[in-house]
Amino acid sequence: MTPRDRLIVGLDLPTVAEAEAMIATLGDTVSFYKIGYQLAFAGGLELARDLVRDGVDIFLDMKLLDIDNTVANGVENIAKMGVSMLTLHAYPKAMRAAVTAAKGSDLCLLAVTVLTSMDETDLTEAGYEYDPHTLVLRRAEQAHLAGMGGIVCSAEEAAAVRKIVGPDMAVVTPGIRPAGADAGDQKRVMTPADAIRAGASHLVVARPIVKAPDPKAAAEAILAEMQAAL
């Protein structure tokens, strides 16, 4: 894969009009976009269908979690949209239901391990007995056993996750921040080059690009850094 195949730009914007303007600004520089809650609930699902028809790769970041039947039914319909990637929380029963529902499609199911905005204090408050690193690795192993297509984790855990899942599964890392960039609400971050060297297959970058004064230049700089790391 080229850096352009590996860079996923998060369309974390409030309206479809703003998302379409950002896509136009980035032009051919970017070919893979993430649509999450904010945009999905403002018409982003229809935008996703339109972009898929135009040959654009879409990562639908829905982080599904529900009873098995509900997860399976949702995954079946999402697979019909033609999107490339879909996230769900890495709970074993939900993952097994999703894998069965996606069978025969090209949908890559991604297991969200521990959010990059969470640290050990946050996990303790939520009732987990594991630190972030341990929980990420436990969930990566469960996702691998369930037959998931990839893992979502902090780039800090990418190298350890890669050892568990092998060379074929996707390792998708949000929380990417170029050197000197503001971390914002992210607590486990890494630069694009370091994430690639750690074993990430795809980098998710939102604010450092979509909030930049020159989004296209910001994307090009990140792509150049990724290329150097490769």
Domain containing residue 20: CATH number: 3.20.20.70
Known catalytic membership, residue 61: yes
pLDDT of 187 over the 70 cut: no
Annotated binding-site residues for substrate read 12, 34, 61-70, 116, 177, 186, 206-207
Residue-wise pLDDT tens digits, 94-147: 999 999 999 999 999 999 998 878 888 988 898 988 888 899 999 999 999 999
Catalytic residue among 28, 54, 66, 122: 66
Catalytic residue among 57, 61, 187, 194: 61
Q: What pLDDT does 119 receive?
A: 84
Q: By the 8 A CB rule, do 158 and 199 touch?
A: yes
User: How many domains is the chain built from?
Assistant: 1
The beta strands (E) that lie in the chain are given as: 7-10, 32-35, 57-64, 85-89, 108-112, 150-152, 170-173, 202-205
CA distance 93 to 174: 24
Which of 63, 119, 122, 216 is labelled catalytic?
63
State which residues form the domain around 110: 3-229
| Cβ-contact 204, 174 below 8 angstroms | yes
Active site residue 103: no
Q: What is the pLDDT of residues 57-81, one digit of tens each?
A: 999 999 999 999 999 999 999 999 9
The answer to whether 171 and 108 are in contact (CB under 8 A) is no
Q: Is-catalytic flag, 168?
A: no
